[in-house]
């Protein structure tokens, strides 16, 4: 069987094991107030790692797709130019990644690795990535009223795509291996045999958590249908667009957004580094072309774009996953209350003629 249990006080030892095996480990910490964040674990901070806490706004996506990433170094002198690509192969584990964010990484895999062109930067990092998923079970801490993973069908317990999955059963945690790499860790003595009672307890707890979600149903699939067949009126898009302040927040907190821009910077004399940086379709410069022509001038054209790209059936089919994982972050950060759940609701109302 691919499941074990681990005593509550031993859970953080998984981090020690991974570090001993050569992984850099990123884990969630609490900052001040509501602030929570993923950071690299060191000897100094390792006791401050939190298993249950509000999911950090800045998604762990950045460990496979850094916000700013150097792609290559270019050296030019009289003898010509030399292009030296740089990929990162440091083994890295993310401890405490939530199910929605696991689904985000699954989406990135589909997008960056499954098409005609493979993204080598993403591939190298992904090959060296180890995911320790934590199922959201602490109703006070893990879940907030914006979470809609149940509607997006990504949580609260991921069905795969992790290496290990932890679930809090009280005195013990249940550990499920999702890959050979994960199962290999079961050789360590902290992992004990699980029995039928544990499995039953897991089922019970999960059922309870499911009941605790505020957003259990959503018109997600109805929204996909509406958007795909062009059934949303220009007026509705304008209503949504009028509420957007073009801060870009929604895209920067999104675990499934993939867009980037590329820029050259001079690093040393005669040396250039080419970097890529997350970009946002919310910003007007995103599509502006030479001569100032912008095919998406109006704000609502840009918002329309974001939701179309995420919900249109064509793309869902192409990537075999939806570019929205139900984490609720965009709803939390948006000043205009037009995160995904709200937009789905607006679309539903508009189609019902309300």
Partner 1 sequence: MSVTENIYEPKPAVLERVVDEIDEVKTFYWRFIDESEQRRFLERFEPGQFAQVSIFGHGEFPASLPPSPTEGELFFTVRKVGSATSAMHEMGPGAVFGVRGPYGNGFKMESYAGMNLVFVAGGIGMIPLRSCIVYALANREMFGDVKVFYGAREPRGLMYMPLWREYEESKDVECHLTVDKADAEWSGHVGVVGSLFKKRDVNLTSKNTVAFVCGPPVMFRFVIRDLKTLGFSDSQIISTLERYMKCGVGKCGHCCIGVAYVCVDGPVFTYKQIKQLGEDI
Q: Return residues touching partner 1 (CB under 8 A).
A: 71-72, 74, 76, 80-83, 85, 87, 111-112, 115-121, 123, 258-264, 266, 272, 274, 276, 279, 281, 286-291, 293, 295-296, 301, 305, 308-309, 312, 314-315
Residue 285 DSSP one-character state:
G
Q: Which one of 12-20, 115-123, 231-239, 335-343 is the stretch in contact with ligand SF4 (CB under 6 A)?
A: 335-343
Under a CB-based contact definition with an 8 Å cutoff, are residues 150 and 156 in contact? yes
- Is position 274 an interface residue for ligand FAD (rule: CB under 6 A)? no
How far is it, in rounded angstroms, from Cα 286 to Cα 297? Answer: 10
**Which token pair is 165?**
């999955």
Helix ranges, the chain (H)? 13-20, 99-113, 120-127, 149-152, 180-184, 196-212, 220-228, 234-241, 249-252, 299-311, 313-319, 329-333, 340-351
Per-residue string for binding with ligand SF4, 253-292, x by CB under 6 A?
-----------------------------x----------
- Is position 324 an interface residue for ligand SF4 (rule: CB under 6 A)? no
CB-wise, 290 or 352, nearer to ligand FAD? Answer: 290
Q: Which does residue 250 bind out of ligand FAD, partner 1, ligand SF4, none, counting CB within 5 to 8 angstroms by kind?
A: ligand SF4
CA dihedral 229, 235, 237, 242 (to 10 degrees): 180
Q: Which does residue 115 bind out of partner 1, ligand SF4, ligand FAD, none, counting CB within 5 to 8 angstroms by kind?
A: partner 1
Exposed, middle or buried, 70 (CB in 10 Å: 0-12/13-18/19+)? middle
CB-wise, 66 or 336, nearer to ligand SF4? Answer: 336
Report the nearest approach of ligand SF4 to the CB of residue 329 (Å). 10
How far is it, in rounded angstroms, from Cα 193 to Cα 132? Answer: 19
Per-residue string for binding with ligand SF4, 7-46, x by CB under 6 A?
----------------------------------------
Q: Which does residue 336 bind out of ligand SF4, partner 1, ligand FAD, none, counting CB within 5 to 8 angstroms by kind?
A: ligand SF4
Q: Which one of 114-122, 146-154, 246-254, 311-319 is the stretch in contact with ligand SF4 (CB under 6 A)?
A: 246-254
- Is position 347 an interface residue for ligand SF4 (rule: CB under 6 A)? no
Distances from the Cα of 259 to the Cα of 28, 62, 124, 191, 247, angstroms: 25, 13, 19, 40, 16
How far is it, in rounded angstroms, from Cα 218 to Cα 340? Answer: 11
175 backbone dihedrals φ, ψ, rounded to 5°? -120, 125
CB-wise, 242 or 263, nearer to ligand SF4? Answer: 242
- Is position 290 an interface residue for ligand FAD (rule: CB under 6 A)? yes
CA dihedral 203, 206, 211, 213 (to 10 degrees): -160
| Beta carbons within 8 Å of 265's beta carbon, 6+ residues apart | 272, 273, 274, 275
Q: Reduced to 3 states, what is the DSSP secondary structure of residue 241?
A: helix
> Which of 289, 295, 352, 353 forms a contact with ligand FAD (CB under 6 A)?
289
Binding residues for ligand FAD, rule: CB under 6 A, are 288-290, 292
């Amino acid at each position: 069987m691919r499941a074990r249990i681990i005593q509550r006080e031993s859970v953080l030892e998984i981090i020690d094991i991974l570090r001993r095996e050569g992984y850099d480990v990123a884990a969630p910490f609490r900052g001040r107030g509501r602030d929570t964040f993923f950071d690299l674990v060191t000897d100094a901070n390792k006791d401050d790692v939190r298993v249950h806490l509000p999911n950090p706004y800045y998604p762990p996506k950045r460990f496979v797709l850094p916000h700013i990433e150097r792609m290559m170094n270019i050296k030019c002198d009289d003898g010509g130019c030399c292009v030296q690509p740089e990929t990162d192969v440091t083994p890295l584990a993310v401890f405490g990644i939530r199910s929605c964010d696991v689904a985000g990484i699954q989406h990135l895999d589909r997008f960056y690795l499954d098409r005609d062109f493979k993204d080598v930067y993403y591939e190298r990092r992904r090959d060296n990535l180890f995911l320790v998923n934590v199922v959201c079970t602490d109703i006070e801490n893990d879940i907030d009223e914006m979470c809609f993973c149940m509607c997006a069908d990504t949580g609260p317990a991921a069905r795969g795509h992790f290496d290990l999955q932890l679930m809090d059963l009280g005195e013990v945690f249940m550990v499920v291996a999702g890959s050979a790499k994960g199962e290999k860790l079961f050789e360590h003595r902290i992992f004990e045999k699980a029995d039928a009672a544990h499995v039953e307890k897991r089922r019970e707890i999960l059922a309870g958590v499911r009941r605790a979600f505020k957003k259990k149903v959503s018109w997600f699939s109805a929204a996909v249908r509406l958007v795909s067949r062009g059934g949303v009126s220009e007026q509705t898009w304008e209503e949504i667009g009028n509420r957007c302040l073009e801060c870009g927040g929604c895209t920067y907190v999104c675990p499934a957004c993939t867009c980037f821009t590329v820029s050259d910077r001079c690093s040393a004399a005669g040396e250039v580094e080419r970097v890529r940086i997350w970009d946002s379709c919310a910003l007007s410069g995103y599509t502006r072309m030479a001569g100032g022509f912008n095919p998406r001038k109006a704000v609502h054209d840009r918002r329309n774009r974001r939701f179309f790209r995420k919900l249109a059936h064509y793309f869902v089919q192409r990537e075999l996953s939806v570019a929205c994982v139900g984490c609720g972050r965009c709803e939390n950060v948006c000043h205009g209350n037009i995160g995904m759940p709200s937009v789905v609701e607006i679309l539903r109302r508009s189609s019902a003629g309300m």
